[in-house]
Structure 1
Amino acid sequence: MYDDYAAYPKRTASFGKPLALFLALSALWCLLLLLFNRFPEIDLSVARSVFTNAPCPWTDSADDVCGRFAYDRDRLFVILRSITLALPYVALAVLLAIPFISWRKLGPNWRTPKIDQCMAALLSLALGCGLIVNLFLKAFSGRPRPRDTDLFGGALDFVQAGSFAGKCLRNCSFVSGEASSAGWLLCLVLLLPPRWRLPLGAPLAIISVMMPTMRVLTGAHYLSDAVLGWLLSLVMFTAMLTVFEIFSPRPQQP
């Protein structure tokens, strides 16, 4: 993934100002959460646009809703999801190998700016996708998935983004774990050598957008779940870059 393993020659950051990016992305995340929370019709409108109503076979009541989401259980989507789900694990294996390769090549000077960026990516995956998204938000947010709400053929009440008042008990809708993984994959484009950023970065960017989009089209998540999950990984990545920028080795004064 890297062209060189030059040890810290000076205190540099190839990502500009990580702290400024972190603050800007954090503010954007909070503003979007507020928007989706105050205007839940955004989520409902998008979900309705990909949901097809159908007669309920067991009742004639107008209060019951039956139907399906346009691409739920679509064979192509199932195949694409299986492929894209494997990509974060492949990237994780590569990122874990890079510090070891650097240590074998440079010995005590193994820690370089690029290795710090690699470690920042690993930590952002663990803390963002792992801890915040899957172990906290999806476990305790209580927000039912679209296909589990009574508006789209399920049994649970709809709750807006950011509300913890829903009755989902586990693996809930807020936020999307796959969207979070997709956002993390996009961050890895910045770790690629410049000559590989276009040929590898363009497909990664497409996949990064495609993964959360598929979750919305299949009724697995609302738009807000996908957008906020995706953006959260960018927030965490810039947060970890900021930490490593602050605590990276400083050049010794002559």
Structure 2
Amino acid sequence: MHEYASASKRALPYSQTLFYFVALFVIWWALLLIFNRAPAIDIAVARYFFSNGICHKAKEIGDTCGVFAYDRNLLFVSLRSITLILPYVAVAVLIAIPLVSWRRLGSRWRTREAEQSIVALTSLALGCGLIVNLFLKEFSGRPRPRDTDLFGGALDFVQAGSFAGKCLQNCSFVSGEASSGGWLLCLVFLLSPRWRLPLGIPLAIISVAMPAMRVMTGAHYLSDAVLGWLLSLVIFAGVLAAFDAFSPAPRRK
């Protein structure tokens, strides 16, 4: 999306980064409206991955029993363990870049790479950290698919964007791991051209796989995954536009 070209001219002007932010922001709210007005989409996708089973415990007639088979799949469990580590690895690298730059260059530490690292870390803190994990997941109240009565749980289903659910904490809206996956994709745009393809392709695959696995295992509805993933792109574009507007152009090495 963005790469700083020189101290006097940016690769993407402020008006262009602002356009990306506004466009992604509008798309996010449009998708939320669609999922909110058409909750059958979430239910249908979750039901596709749900396997009905025999109720082994006493339940009322009409109650649903079963499992999300992929939730117990060893391959999925292993892949999730790997993908959970990747954002932390990326954060460590991004923190190291400006620190190394400061140690080497002193007051001239704000190189292109250092500025890009700050943009990425700021977007992660605001998006995945503040908005997703500290606000939405704690206060949205939306139960996860496997916790709703439609799929063997005890709580009522609520549509995306509703804060009327009975989940008390770490709720389904939106997916934190999907948000992390979306953030990882944003890092592709910060890579130098020679690394963008060899590193960008696996990052893009991982970025999509993270939310997909959460839907397939019954941990999140499709809307939670899509909106969580896209939210990171929205925040990243917004932070990028803000840095373009208020920060001085970084120096070359």
Give the alignment's TM-score, normalised by structure 2.
0.93
Cα distance in 2 for residues equivalent to 1:69 and 1:235: 31
The alignment of Structure 1 onto Structure 2 pairs a total of residues equal to 246
* Contact 1:149–1:158 (CA under 8 A) maintained in structure 2: yes
Separation of aligned partners in 2, 1:60 and 1:166: 22
- Given that 2:10 and 2:249 are in contact with CA atoms closer than 8 Å, whether structure 1 keeps it comes out as no
Q: Which residue of 2 is the match for residue 212 of structure 1?
A: 211
* Contact 2:97–2:114 under 8 Å retained in 1: yes
What's the offset of the Cα at 1:103? 1.5
Offset at residue 191 of structure 1 (A): 1.1
Structure 1 segments (4+ residues) deviating >6 Å? none
Within-5 A mapping of 1:52-71: 52-59=51-58, 61-71=60-70
Please, what is the CA RMSD of the aligned residues? 1.8
Match of 1:94 in 2: 93
Q: Tell me the distance in 1 between the aligned counterparts of 2:165 and 2:140.
A: 7
Task: Decide whether the 8 Å contact of 2:189 with 2:196 is kept in 1.
Answer: yes
Distance in structure 1 (CA, Å) of the matches to 2:112 and 2:235: 18
Residue number in structure 1 paired with 2:21: 22
Residue type at the aligned position of 2:125:
A
Give the whole-Å Cα distance in 2 for the aligned partners of 1:55 and 1:10.
68
Please say which of residues 191-200 and 61-70 is displaced more in the overlay. Answer: 61-70
What secondary structure, in the 3-state scheme, does the structure 2 residue paired with 1:52 have?
Answer: strand
Matched, 1:143 2:142: yes
Helix, strand or coil: the match of 2:42?
helix
Distance 2:181 2:13 in 1: 20
Shift of 1:116: 2.0
Deviation at 1:13, TM superposition (A): 3.6
Asked if 1:133 is matched to 2:132, the reply is: yes
Per the alignment, residue 10 of structure 2 pairs with: 12
Contact 2:70 2:216 in 1 (8 A): yes
* Distance in 1 between residues matched to 2:76 and 2:130, nearest whole Å: 27
Deviation at 1:192, TM superposition (A): 1.0
**Are the structure 2 counterparts of residues 156 and 240 from structure 1 closer, same or farther at C-alpha, using a change threshold of 3 Å?**
same
- How far the C-alpha of 1:106 sits from its partner, in A, is 2.2
- CA–CA distance in structure 2, aligned partners of residues 89 and 217 of structure 1: 24
Counterparts of 1:1-254 in structure 2, within 5 Å, are 9-14=7-12, 17-59=16-58, 61-249=60-248
Could you give the per-residue CA deviations for residues 63-105 of structure 1, whole angstroms, max 9, x where no partner exists? 1110001201211111100000000000000000111122123
Question: CA contact under 8 A between 1:69 and 1:219: conserved in structure 2?
Answer: yes
> What is the one-letter code of the residue matched to 1:172?
C
CA offsets 1:202-251 (integer angstroms, 9 cap, x no match): 00000000000000000000000000000000000011101110112269
